[in-house]
Structure 1
């Protein structure tokens, strides 16, 4: 399949009510607010939907997941994980959604339709247990770097993007804004 025909899904997952647990969703929100993507790219706030994400996942050819991972790294360290490394990173039970994500990918596989390419951009959290709509300052500072990595992956997969302007503002509403006042 030509690169430009690949259906690319950027899937930000997590729970925005538990500090860094919402990092993946916040990345998806930022991308949606700042960029217009080519028709073959979809940005999705997957929240903690688990098995309800099967449809969008099975309809994609290239899946880019953004989430927190416990990968024995330093807080704020970013990882690009594939294959078995992705499975190990998603297997921890300290998250409200991680096991669901593995189960969802497994169910898609059983049905016989998993994207050819699955990439997880994970970041080591600082705090994913306290209830807050704010990211930790360390992860807040990493948002631009993660956005850039995801955009590079989209381009490598055959997608494109342009910056939004006043003439093409985002139509997606953010219902629970980040509390960045806690990070100053």
Structure 2
């Protein structure tokens, strides 16, 4: 491949720490996506339980994906369990200067995307053309295993949101039909 050509690959990554209650939202959502009939996922879709391994996720993205969907908690001040979709766009922000060492166990999606940008600049690779975050408003991120009831109820709708994004991405990148000659 040359230039900005990217493979027809999509990565859906669940981010979060399952030992901090609602922070396990992204991981649980991706687990449920993996339990679906595989025919419901577009060809070329890969699922990843990224957990708290943000650096691993950033390096995996250097393998080349057209679309990245991150699933994680997003605090925006709404009621617990509220879902949102954020279109990050084609160019993840650069991390720039980091005060002190990078904490690889406390990387939010913005930090992962910024690290990806920095790695791309230094090591090459192809950045995703599309980056989305499917986020959920948390209720409790204290120590403990298991999602709070409002966040648990948001997992299946989040699965539907991810499937909708994947379908839209496939439609947007489908080749134009070739006119038939009579």
Q: 1:46 aligns with which of 19, 39, 50?
A: 50
Q: 1:20 aligns with which of 19, 22, 33?
A: 22
Asked if 1:96 corresponds to 2:96, the answer is no
**TM-score, length basis structure 2:** 0.72
C-alpha deviation, 1:74, in angstroms: 1.9
User: What root-mean-square deviation, in Å, do the aligned CA atoms of Structure 1 and Structure 2 show?
Assistant: 2.4
- On the 8 A contact 1:64/1:121 being kept in 2, the answer is yes
In structure 2, the residue matched to 1:9 is 11
Distance 1:45 1:150 in 2: 15
C-alpha deviation, 1:47, in angstroms: 0.6
Distance 2:85 2:42 in 1: 23
Distance 2:130 2:42 in 1: 18
Give CA deviations for 1:5-33 in whole Å, capped at 9, x if unaligned: 62111111000110011100110111101
Distance 1:70 1:42 in 2: 26
- On the 8 A contact 1:66/1:121 being kept in 2, the answer is yes
Asked if 1:146 corresponds to 2:158, the answer is yes
Alignment of 1:104-123 (within 5 A): 104-110=115-121, 111-112=123-124, 113-123=126-136
Question: Greater CA deviation, 23-32 or 105-114?
Answer: 105-114
Distance 2:116 2:29 in 1: 21
- On the 8 A contact 1:6/1:157 being kept in 2, the answer is no
Distance 1:38 1:71 in 2: 30
Give CA deviations for 1:23-82 in whole Å, capped at 9, x if unaligned: 001101111012313441001101111111123222211001100011122211111112
Q: How many residues get paired?
A: 147
Divergent runs of 4+, >3 A: none
Distance 1:109 1:18 in 2: 31
Q: Larger radius of gyration, structure 1 or 2? A: 2
- On the 8 A contact 1:15/1:96 being kept in 2, the answer is no
The unaligned stretches of length 5 or more in structure 1 are 88-94, 160-184
- Secondary structure of the 1:22 match is helix
Higher helix proportion (structure 1 or 2): 1
